[in-house]
Structures are given as C-alpha cells and as structure tokens.
Amino acid sequence: MTVECDAVPTAATLTATDNCDPAPVVTFSQTRTDGNCADNYTLTRTWTATDRCGNHSSKTQIITVHDTTAPELSAAPAAVTVECDAVPTAATLTATDNCDPAPVVTFSQTRTDGNCADNYTLTRTWTATDRCGNHSSKTQIITVHDTTAPVLSAAPPAVTVECNAVPTAATLTATDNSDPNPVVTFSQTRTDGNCANNYTLARTWTATDRCGNHSSRTQVITVHDTTEPVIACPANITTNTTLGNCSTTVVVGTATATDNCDSHPTIVGTRSDNKPLSDPYPKGVTTITWTATDACGNSNTCQQTITVIDNEPPVLVCPGNQVVVANTNCTGTVVFTLPTVTDNCDDAVAAAGTASGSVMGLGVHAMIYTALDTAGNSNSCSFQLTVLAPVFVTFQPPLAGQPVANKIRRGQVVPHKVRLTNCSGATVTSGVTVKLKVLGIDSGNNTIFQDVIEDANGVGSDGTVTSDGIMQLTDGQFHFNLDTSNFTDPNTVASARFYQSTVTVIDNTTGAVLGSTSVVLETKQ
C-alpha cells in the first residue's frame, strides 16, 4: 500500500496455527528503506510463525510512504491600499505539515512601479516548503498611492508697506510623507492700483512632490505710497534793481526733490505774483513756492524769497540859472521853473525846496532841491534864481489911450513914444533895450505879422532890414517913427482890420523881459 507519512498503519497482529504446535510463536520485523527525502521511504513488515520444531513460515507487507501533501500556511494579511508612509511591515506567517514538524517558511516581495516614484504595487509572497519539497504560498497585494501633498512652512503674514519697504521674498521649506526633497517654487503677481506706486503683490510658494501632489502658501503685500517727497529750495536771493528800472532779472535756480518711490518727482515753482519765473522781479519781496509732487500725488513745498532792493537815487534835473521878474504889484512873489524829478520806482517823488510862487526878495538866490524816494535814496541839484524888478511901459501922445482911430494910413509916419517907470514911479532910462513890434489882424481874424523896418539910424523907412524896431531914448522917453509907406506887403494895409503896436522892455544884463504893453491902431481902409 502507499500512504502519506501521517497515515502509516499500525503493524497488524497475525496469528498462526500449526499441525503440531498448538501455539506456534509469531514474530514481527520491519525494515525501512529511505527514499529521496526524509518522508519518502518504504516499510517492509514481516511476520514469521515458528513451531516447536523450528518449522516456520512468513508473511510480508510492503508500505510505500510518499509525502505529497504541502505544508499549511497561516493566513496572509488582506490586500490594502496605503500611502507611501503607511506601508505595513511584512507579516510573519507560520506553517504546519503532516510530515515535517518544521517546514521552512520563506518570504519574497516584488515591486511594480506606477506612474510616479511613490505610486507602486507590492506583491508579498510567503512560501512554506516541507522536507520533501512540497510547498504552498500565500500572497498579499499592497497598493501604494501617494495622494498627500507636501507640507509647506508658514508664509509671512499679509502686510501694508511703503514702496521702499517691500520685504524680500521669504524662503519657505517643505516636507513630504514620500518625497524627501519636494520642490518649492515661488511666483509673484502684481496688481496695479490708482497710481504707479500703489499696487498689490500676491506672493505664492508651491511645494510639489514626485507624484505631482502640491500645496501652496500665499502672502499679500499691499504697497501704498503715502510719503511725500523731500524738497529743498534754492537759496534765498537779495539783489538790486536794474539801473533805470524798478525790477531786475533774477536766475532763481530750481528746487531739488527726492522721493521714496518716484525717482523723478515733478517740481513746479509758483511766484506770489503769479508771473512766470523768468519775468523780472519787482522791488520788494517776491515769494516762490516750490512744490514737488510724486507719481501718487503726494506733495511737499518749500519757499524761496527773492528780495529786490531799490538802491538807485531819483533823477533830479535842475533847470539852468533863471531870471524872473517880480509881479506887476511889485511884490516879491515870483513864478519860476522847478526841477524835474523821476525815479525808477516811485511815481510821486517830489523835489523838496522853494516852491514857485513863493515870496522872494530881489537879487540872486541859490535854489537847492533834494528828492527822496520811498527806499531812502536821495539826490540833490541847484541853480541860481535872479529876481528882477518890473518896468512899466506907458504910451505917450499921440498914441496915449486906446483905441487910436484912423491913426494909420499908407504913406503915413506914425510916431511911437513910451515912458518907462519902476516900482517907485521913477523914470527908467538906462540898462534896458526897448523894442517895438507891429502885429496886423485881417478881417478874418488872421494874424499878419509885419516887422518894423528901420535903417541904420533906427528910422523905419528904408525897407531893407527886417527886425524889431529899437526905440531911441530922447528926453527921458523912447521914440520910434513907424513909416508905412514902404511896407513890403501891398495887401497889408488893405487887408488889415487893425494893427497892434507892442513895446517890450528887455534887461540888457540878463535878457529878461521887464515889461510890455500894447496899443491898437485902427484902420478903416
């Protein structure tokens, strides 16, 4: 018979009968012949009956023991799907065998890679083998799938800063359950605000493991430019007016400015009189307000003063020396030409000194005048004023009194006689020249000038010399005979409505007119 090693039957007990011996002895023997393994062998069992006379007979049984049963393994763990950091340790399985008291259990594992380094399948196999090579296996399938994103370190908090205080991007690190070196990338996006230096930065750090799992951290930085520029004005300037002007041209320079955000803030200067900076600056203080404005409208100002000083004195021009004649009332009230005064700045600068129309004594006076402008600049000038007494002219007969009717005819000689007196009534006969001039007026009230014609002896008769007639002194009176016969204009007498004779007294020293009077000579041509 052939049996498994755990099914070898117990040796049977055989009995024997003998023809002589009522109780022959039955003996049993067994031999083992090993096979190719410890539990493959052959048992030869022999029973021998021997009587008392030594006669014997035998029976044999052949048992073939053949181990064909595999060991029995304990249960393998169930199939699982886990993260790569949760792969279980391989279990220890045990085995029992119908023949081998200690079958050998071996373990093996194979890995089948997936679509990334941390996605794969583990096939775990336990195999139990007995001494005859019979074996059995158990298998566990572990599916490893990385679905866990890396863990990033904390991002900096959201902040609001000035544009010159934007922090440097932080360096974040990451850990991962599978990847020892997840990749951390950084990106930044800018969203512009209402001006060039108002904007928002969104900073994003992303950690990605070998299987593409990723996580992100974000920091929002609000950049707001609220800082005004720093401005520096040019130096204040003090200068004088330009000669002849109440202003001067000034090179004022330009303010400078720096800004925490804007490299070129706009700089504008505004004068207190709202004129262009390049225009002349008037006397006094002009303020320039310089304003620096950055790209976000933050501004700052400073002020520069331009002080223009009037250091130019007034222009005071005195007239030349003057000769005036006291009034006909013989008082000292005299009228004369005053100095002229102009100033580069002041329109109402006056020359301080004796006023025209003042009461002054006869003689020579030193007239000194001073002009002072509002800036305290002054100038002076002077001249001489000679005050002369007046001379009074009185026509004597036949021309005394006015009008003198029909006193002039063509071809007539009209005698002119005048007496000169001073303020005290005394006759004046020296130091003067007495001139006669005739003025003709026609019917249309047009003036016809007719100079008196005189000869070398002062007689108006030759018709060759045209000048004022010089009256001659005779017996304390001044005489001149007007001869109309040689008037050169043939229409003079015919067209004249009347003639007017004027006598003028001239001071021989100064040339001043000391007195004058006229008489009308009517005509009825």
DSSP string, 371-437: EE-TTS-EEEEEEEEEEE---EEEE-TTS-SS-BTT---TT-EEEEEEEEE-TTSPBP-SSEEEEEE
Q: Which strand (E) or helix (H) includes residue 125?
A: strand 119-129
8 A C-beta contact, residue 148 and residue 205: no
Tell me, which fold does domain 72-144 have in CATH?
Immunoglobulin-like (2.60.40)
CATH number of 315-388: 2.60.40.10
CATH number of 392-522: 2.60.40.10
8 A C-beta contact, residue 2 and residue 66: yes
pLDDT at 461 over 50: no
| Average pLDDT of every residue of the chain | 89
Per-residue pLDDT of 86-108, as tens digits, reads 999 999 999 999 999 999 999 99
Per-residue pLDDT of 475-523, as tens digits, reads 788 887 776 655 544 444 455 556 677 889 999 999 999 999 888 776 5
Backbone angles phi, psi at 476, to 5 degrees: 80, 5
List the structure tokens of 89: 């340790």
In sequence order, the β-bridge partners of residue 104 are 129
Domain boundaries in the chain? 2-65, 72-144, 151-223, 230-307, 315-388, 392-522
The answer to whether domain 151-223 and domain 230-307 are alike in fold is yes
Cβ of 484: how many Cβ atoms within 10 Å?
Answer: 21
| Distance (Å, whole) CA 521 – CA 439 | 10
Per-residue pLDDT of 273-329, as tens digits, reads 999 999 999 999 999 999 999 999 999 999 999 999 999 999 999 999 999 988 877
Q: Tell me which architecture the domain covering 230-307 has in CATH.
A: Sandwich (2.60)
**0.75 exceeded by pTM:** no
Cβ of 128: how many Cβ atoms within 10 Å?
Answer: 24
Mean pLDDT, residues 461-466: 32
Q: What is the pLDDT of residue 417?
A: 87
Per-residue pLDDT of 131-182, as tens digits, reads 999 999 999 999 999 999 999 999 999 999 999 999 999 999 999 999 999 9
The DSSP secondary-structure symbol of 116 reads E
8 A C-beta contact, residue 85 and residue 118: no
In sequence order, what are the residues at sequence separation of 6 or more whose Cβ sits closer than 8 angstroms to the Cβ of residue 42? 32, 33, 35, 62, 63, 64, 65
Among the listed ranges 115-124, 362-371, 472-481, which one has the minimum average pLDDT value? 472-481
Place of tokens 């003090």: 238
In sequence order, what are the residues at sequence separation of 6 or more whose Cβ sits closer than 8 angstroms to the Cβ of residue 513? 325, 504, 505, 506, 507
Helix (H/G/I), strand (E/B), else coil: 497: strand
Q: Tell me which architecture the domain covering 151-223 has in CATH.
A: Sandwich (2.60)
| Distance (Å, whole) CA 360 – CA 355 | 10
Higher-scoring residue by pLDDT: 463, 414: 414
| Distance (Å, whole) CA 61 – CA 54 | 23
Q: Which of 445, 409, 415 is nearest to 522 (CA)?
A: 409
Backbone angles phi, psi at 5, to 5 degrees: -65, -25
